[in-house]
Amino acid sequence: MKDQTKSRTHPGYLAFILHRISGLCLALFLPVHLYVISLLLDDPQRFDAFLDWTSAPLVKLSETLLIVLAAAHLAGGIRILAIEWFAVPYNQARLVSAVATFSIAVGVFFLIAV
């Protein structure tokens, strides 16, 4: 019988989980984003009020987390393409580290820009 504890701590499995969670969060964010854009078309005053609300620190932190998740999803997708198209060796620890580093760097750069 296969040891379940080792397979769930494998870098490839952790990258898989991060990719799924980031994709799910982005999918949940999309309807909210479309609703906010519709406010601009339907009720510009409510849209302006919403923009005022987005200057709150907690919203900025959430926005940064969303950017990190988007970067993680992008980098995870590139990792999957590299494995499938370019026959990258299955030992993925370096690729997983690169994905995490890229995601955190994008979040930090975004936070500095905000």
The C-alpha atoms of residue 102 and residue 42 are separated, in whole angstroms, by 38
Which string of b and e fits 62-73 if b means at least 16 CB within 10 Å? eebebbbbbbbb
pLDDT value at position 96? 72
pLDDT mean across residues, the chain = 83
pLDDT at 31 over 90: yes
The C-alpha atoms of residue 99 and residue 114 are separated, in whole angstroms, by 23
pLDDT value at position 93? 65
Whole-prediction pTM: 0.74
Q: Which pLDDT tens digit goes with each residue over 99-112?
A: 778 888 888 888 78
pLDDT value at position 15? 81
* Stretch 94-101: mean pLDDT: 76
pLDDT value at position 6? 66
Q: Which domains does the chain have, with CATH numbers?
A: 4-113 (1.20.1300.10)
pLDDT at 90 over 70: no
* Stretch 66-73: mean pLDDT: 88
The C-alpha atoms of residue 80 and residue 58 are separated, in whole angstroms, by 33
Q: Which pLDDT tens digit goes with each residue over 50-68?
A: 999 988 999 988 888 898 8
